[in-house]
Chains A and B, each alone.
Chain A
Amino acid sequence: MASSVLWRTLGRTKLLPSHTLGRPAGCTEWYRNFYRTPEVFGVAPIKLHMPALSPTMEEGTIISWLKKEGDPIAAGDPLCEIETDKATLTMDADDDGVMAKILVPGNTKNVRINELIALMVAEGEDHTQVDIPTETGTPSAAVDTPADAPVPTATEDTSSSEFSSMRHVAGGKGHVDLSPAVRYLVDSNGLDAAAIVPTGPHGRLLKGDVLKFLAGDPSSRRQEVVAPTMPSAPTPLAAPPPPPPPVTHPAVPPAAAEEDEFVDIPHTSMRRVIAKRLTQSKTTVPHAYSSIDCEMGSVLRLRKQLQGSGVKVSVNDFIIKAVGQALKTVPEVNAQWMGEAVQLLSNVDISVAVATDKGLITPIVTDVPSRGLQNISETVKELAGRARIGKLLPQEYQGGTFSVSNLGMFGISQFSAIINPPQSCIMAIGGSRVLVEPTEDGHTTKTVMTVTLCSDSRVVDDALASTFLENFKENLENPFKAALL
């Protein structure tokens, strides 16, 4: 119809009743609402805005949409997952309807509160015909309010993000207060302060806003009032790159405009915690290192023998057992530095370092001296398995009196590790290597492994460390003796 353009414009204004959605069923006056049929007009949408899911939330990330366009929605259905500064929550639907258009896709960061993120239509409507508002937040701002001052509507969409409780302070008043820096910029560039969108508290114009305006960012311009004077010469500014305009939404981070020289891997909370603890340990605990070479011949032979009778144990299990016994013999090493005293611990719990995808975690094998080799082997396997899938209970990795870290399987010959406070030692096990030793009639080979004890020298000084390592070496090289005595 030729008048469809007129109908469409009238429909967008408030001159015609807009509360009727589609054709009221059975109403004999349906022709009065003809303009609202999907054929002539788009279907009036139910707007979905970004909710503030916690009182302190200013912006959030839409992680994913749980409903696709065209999916039916029942009241109470989860629509999308939103990550706030505190937690990830879902946004629920209030009404029944059909999802019509998703305006902000999943994985978008920094979506401000009250931004339009999607459109829904009521049940029974055609969702493909939905009328997408062209301006966010104030679709009626375009034509129908020539009598209203343009300033209050502009303040409405800028102040809706922050400081929304000050909406009655008209935006025009904010421009009366210009700080000296802002006033200088405005005057020296011949700008009209009313043409720049203020983002400060109470509608104040900030220096950043003026700089954005000068950089030519379209979002910093007021939409109703065209700036009467453009900057005469855009002053070369070391301005920050313009942030993504809030209206259009490909989720492009600002840095993508420049060359991609680096990749940021954001911190997981586990990495953050590990980093904090390692830094604290290395900076506050005085580390001392002592190394010793252990002959692994007897251990390897015994292991093969056990394998022959069906018992599968690894070299690491022998090491853990040997450490446990050594700690019983030299109990001063099984200690912790407390504020006023060195606390000798009675239980020997050894934390075994396990590498997982998410980082290094140390499940604890409790009371090692009372366990047999097979028991230790099974426990370690089980704990490591659960650690890799992230199913350890807190008491299974918090605590422990001594740590053991083995990098031998990666080919490392010797390394030093960082102590896990409040423990006082960590033993770094390297890989075995074969050495050739000359004898009177030729040579023999022996398999040797380097072990480095990193200790807190406040508790375990070099002398004590040497005693401990001697004991450990003794236990490891004579496994039978250690088991029997």
Chain B
Amino acid sequence: MLSCAARLVRAQIQSKPTACWVVAARGYADIVDEATFTTNEYALHKLDEGPSQTVTVTRDDALKYYRQMQTIRRMETAAGNLYKSKVIRGFCHLYSGQEACAVGMEAALTPDDHVITAYRAHGWTYTRGVPPVNILAELTGRKTGCAKGKGGSMHMYGKNFYGGNGIVGAQVPLGAGIALALKYTGSNNVCVALYGDGAANQGQVFETYNMAKLWDLPVIFVCENNGYGMGTAVERASASTDYYTRGDYVPGIRADGMDVLAVREATRFAAEWCRSGKGPVILEVATYRYSGHSMSDPGTSYRPREEIQEMRKTRDPITGLREKLISANIATAEEMKQIDLDVRAEIDKAVEQAKTDPELPVEEMYTDIFVDEPPFKVRGTNPFMYGMSK
């Protein structure tokens, strides 16, 4: 029945040669394979030369970055909606608006480099290789989640990805520790330790700067400065809002965090610096988050709605990349629209799966306590309840 009708309609098209011709005459010939752009200036601290302002990107890479950013955006929107329908409970910190940081940095790193970040980690979990369906299943607490559903939003882990840390600024010393391990074992890899503008004022961060510089650890300290530490604007929280200079003796770079290519270039520079044994680097990415600090924060009580709207209109990383690619003829608007639709379909499917996958059985309460330990008895929630760890 379907094919009959389709044939009928196809016949009608063929009887209109002009329509066909127009369809076939799309300008694929104009698409180039590579393009060069100029980024905004980088601010440098204790560095004579910085990352190059001229960035080149190939077509494949560009579409990959676009797809990754769009996936993160849609995944975070889906997580927000799931939270609002009470399918996800607890904490949920969304990354919408900051996608260029994760995607840009990942583009300059290898899967053998290590990353540790704070609780706004869903985007990083994705770029570190965990599929969106496992991230969403972790948020909804299912067996198929990347931490078996035991961790939730703030405790997602992957290969060479150490989460997902709830305590503000706690991950920075850990990041330096990972870098120490990398240097000690003689590998050529770096560790990226991310923190926010709020955590930048924590004491242990400065202790870490000292140790990292003293021992020349290959760690890139990344400050994701989104302008607000929960609800406090940076001007009201920090005496110096030039977070890239806060390391004093640690060289620093500030890059535009809404431009994925600028972030990639800056990270490339920083990674090369660290890999050549010159010690740590601070990379401040000036970015913005559209949602509130977490799902319990509407995000509009400490900043005007117009500011958010303006950032969305003028500095959105995804639309920024899209415009760049279309104007440089690397990709067409239709292609990108198709990517949007594909991503939307993928995330919708992932959401459905995240809602219907099975939850962990109660016996899993007693597992994953120690590594490589033979099974032992574990007390449950009262003195009369026991289970066996596996």
Binding site for B on A (CB under 8 A): 1, 3, 6, 19-21, 24-26, 28, 31-32, 34, 49, 51-55, 74-78, 89-90, 94-95, 113-114, 160, 164-165, 168
Minimum CB–CB distance from A30 to chain B (whole Å) comes to 9
- Complex: chain B residue closest to A54, CB-CB: B296
Encode B323-367 as 1/0 by CB contact (under 8 A) with A: 000000000001001100100110010000000001100000000
Encode B110-122 as 1/0 by CB contact (under 8 A) with A: 0000000000000
In the bound complex, what is the Cα–Cα distance between A147 and B1 (angstroms)? 24
B:104-162 near A, CB below 8 Å: none
Query: Which single member of B1, B85, B298, B312 contacts A75 (CB below 8 Å)?
Result: B312
Minimum CB–CB distance from B332 to chain A (whole Å) comes to 9
Whether the Cβ atoms of B348 and A52 lie closer than 8 Å is: no
User: B338 contacts which chain A residues (CB < 8 A)?
Assistant: 24
Whether the Cβ atoms of A78 and B87 lie closer than 8 Å is: no
- Complex: chain B residue closest to A20, CB-CB: B341
In the bound complex, what is the Cα–Cα distance between A99 and B68 (angstroms)? 28
Most A Cβ at <10 Å: residue of B9, B86, B312, B345: B86
Whether the Cβ atoms of A26 and B6 lie closer than 8 Å is: no
Whether the Cβ atoms of B9 and A34 lie closer than 8 Å is: yes
Determine if B317 is an interface residue (Cβ-Cβ < 8 Å). no
Whether the Cβ atoms of A19 and B13 lie closer than 8 Å is: no
Could you give 7 example pairs across A and B, Cβ below 8 Å?
Answer: A21-B341, A24-B341, A26-B334, A31-B9, A31-B13, A55-B86, A75-B312
Beyond A51-B84, A94-B80, whether A76 also contacts B296 by CB under 8 A is no
User: B77 contacts which chain A residues (CB < 8 A)?
Assistant: 94-95
Whether the Cβ atoms of B308 and A19 lie closer than 8 Å is: no
Whether the Cβ atoms of B13 and A78 lie closer than 8 Å is: no
Minimum CB–CB distance from A83 to chain B (whole Å) comes to 13
Query: Which single member of B6, B296, B334 contacts A31 (CB below 8 Å)?
Result: B6
- Complex: chain B residue closest to A32, CB-CB: B6
B:22-53 near A, CB below 8 Å: 23-24, 26
In the bound complex, what is the Cα–Cα distance between A164 and B140 (angstroms)? 12
Query: Which single member of A19, A34, A53, A78 contacts B305 (CB below 8 Å)?
Result: A78
In the bound complex, what is the Cα–Cα distance between A165 and B87 (angstroms)? 7
In the bound complex, what is the Cα–Cα distance between A76 and B307 (angstroms)? 11
Whether the Cβ atoms of A26 and B296 lie closer than 8 Å is: no
In the bound complex, what is the Cα–Cα distance between A76 and B80 (angstroms)? 13
Query: Which single member of A21, A54, A164 contacts B87 (CB below 8 Å)?
Result: A164
Whether the Cβ atoms of B309 and A76 lie closer than 8 Å is: yes
Minimum CB–CB distance from B89 to chain A (whole Å) comes to 7
Whether the Cβ atoms of B89 and A55 lie closer than 8 Å is: yes
Whether the Cβ atoms of A52 and B309 lie closer than 8 Å is: no
Query: Which single member of B9, B89, B312, B359 contacts A76 (CB below 8 Å)?
Result: B312
In the bound complex, what is the Cα–Cα distance between A114 and B87 (angstroms)? 10
Determine if B81 is an interface residue (Cβ-Cβ < 8 Å). yes
Interface size class of B (residues with CB under 8 A): 35 or more
In the bound complex, what is the Cα–Cα distance between A165 and B290 (angstroms)? 28
In the bound complex, what is the Cα–Cα distance between A110 and B5 (angstroms)? 47
User: A55 contacts which chain B residues (CB < 8 A)?
Assistant: 86, 89, 296
In the bound complex, what is the Cα–Cα distance between A51 and B86 (angstroms)? 8
In the bound complex, what is the Cα–Cα distance between A49 and B85 (angstroms)? 8
User: A53 contacts which chain B residues (CB < 8 A)?
Assistant: 84, 298
Determine if B377 is an interface residue (Cβ-Cβ < 8 Å). no
- Complex: chain A residue closest to B299, CB-CB: A92
Determine if B300 is an interface residue (Cβ-Cβ < 8 Å). yes
Minimum CB–CB distance from B233 to chain A (whole Å) comes to 19
- Complex: chain A residue closest to B84, CB-CB: A51
Encode B222-253 as 1/0 by CB contact (under 8 A) with A: 00000000000000000000000000000000
Determine if B16 is an interface residue (Cβ-Cβ < 8 Å). no
In the bound complex, what is the Cα–Cα distance between A164 and B82 (angstroms)? 12
Query: Which single member of B13, B23, B300 contacts A90 (CB below 8 Å)?
Result: B300
User: A77 contacts which chain B residues (CB < 8 A)?
Assistant: 309
Whether the Cβ atoms of A74 and B312 lie closer than 8 Å is: yes
- Complex: chain A residue closest to B346, CB-CB: A19
Minimum CB–CB distance from B145 to chain A (whole Å) comes to 15
Most B Cβ at <10 Å: residue of A49, A51, A74, A89: A51
Minimum CB–CB distance from A106 to chain B (whole Å) comes to 19
Minimum CB–CB distance from A263 to chain B (whole Å) comes to 34
Whether the Cβ atoms of A165 and B89 lie closer than 8 Å is: yes
User: A24 contacts which chain B residues (CB < 8 A)?
Assistant: 334, 337-338, 341
Q: A34-B5, A165-B87 are in contact. List 12 more A-B contacts (CB 8 A).
A: A20-B341, A24-B337, A25-B337, A32-B6, A51-B81, A55-B86, A74-B309, A76-B305, A90-B298, A94-B80, A114-B86, A164-B87
Minimum CB–CB distance from B30 to chain A (whole Å) comes to 14
Most A Cβ at <10 Å: residue of B84, B305, B338, B345: B84
Whether the Cβ atoms of A26 and B13 lie closer than 8 Å is: no
Minimum CB–CB distance from A239 to chain B (whole Å) comes to 30
B:64-84 near A, CB below 8 Å: 77, 80-81, 83-84
In the bound complex, what is the Cα–Cα distance between A165 and B88 (angstroms)? 9
In the bound complex, what is the Cα–Cα distance between A367 and B58 (angstroms)? 77
Whether the Cβ atoms of A113 and B23 lie closer than 8 Å is: no
User: A113 contacts which chain B residues (CB < 8 A)?
Assistant: 85-86
Encode B186-223 as 1/0 by CB contact (under 8 A) with A: 00000000000000000000000000000000000000
Most B Cβ at <10 Å: residue of A25, A26, A74, A89: A26
Minimum CB–CB distance from A78 to chain B (whole Å) comes to 7
Beyond A52-B85, A74-B309, whether A3 also contacts B5 by CB under 8 A is yes
Whether the Cβ atoms of B10 and A31 lie closer than 8 Å is: yes
In the bound complex, what is the Cα–Cα distance between A22 and B70 (angstroms)? 21
Encode B271-300 as 1/0 by CB contact (under 8 A) with A: 000000000000000000010000010101
Query: Which single member of B24, B81, B341 contacts A94 (CB below 8 Å)?
Result: B81
In the bound complex, what is the Cα–Cα distance between A95 and B76 (angstroms)? 12
Most B Cβ at <10 Å: residue of A21, A31, A49: A31
Whether the Cβ atoms of B359 and A168 lie closer than 8 Å is: yes
Most B Cβ at <10 Å: residue of A19, A24, A76, A78: A76
Nearest 7 interchain pairs by C-beta = A51-B84, A19-B345, A31-B9, A94-B77, A52-B86, A114-B85, A26-B334
In the bound complex, what is the Cα–Cα distance between A32 and B337 (angstroms)? 18
- Complex: chain B residue closest to A28, CB-CB: B23
Minimum CB–CB distance from B72 to chain A (whole Å) comes to 14
Minimum CB–CB distance from B4 to chain A (whole Å) comes to 9
Most A Cβ at <10 Å: residue of B13, B85, B308, B337: B85
Whether the Cβ atoms of A25 and B334 lie closer than 8 Å is: yes
User: A6 contacts which chain B residues (CB < 8 A)?
Assistant: 1
In the bound complex, what is the Cα–Cα distance between A194 and B204 (angstroms)? 61
User: B84 contacts which chain A residues (CB < 8 A)?
Assistant: 49, 51-53
Minimum CB–CB distance from B326 to chain A (whole Å) comes to 14
Minimum CB–CB distance from A3 to chain B (whole Å) comes to 6
In the bound complex, what is the Cα–Cα distance between A31 and B359 (angstroms)? 42
Whether the Cβ atoms of A164 and B348 lie closer than 8 Å is: no
Beyond A34-B9, A53-B84, A164-B85, whether A26 also contacts B312 by CB under 8 A is no
- Complex: chain B residue closest to A168, CB-CB: B359
Whether the Cβ atoms of B9 and A19 lie closer than 8 Å is: no
Minimum CB–CB distance from B125 to chain A (whole Å) comes to 21
User: B345 contacts which chain A residues (CB < 8 A)?
Assistant: 19
- Complex: chain A residue closest to B309, CB-CB: A76
Minimum CB–CB distance from B301 to chain A (whole Å) comes to 9
- Complex: chain A residue closest to B290, CB-CB: A76
Whether the Cβ atoms of B298 and A89 lie closer than 8 Å is: yes
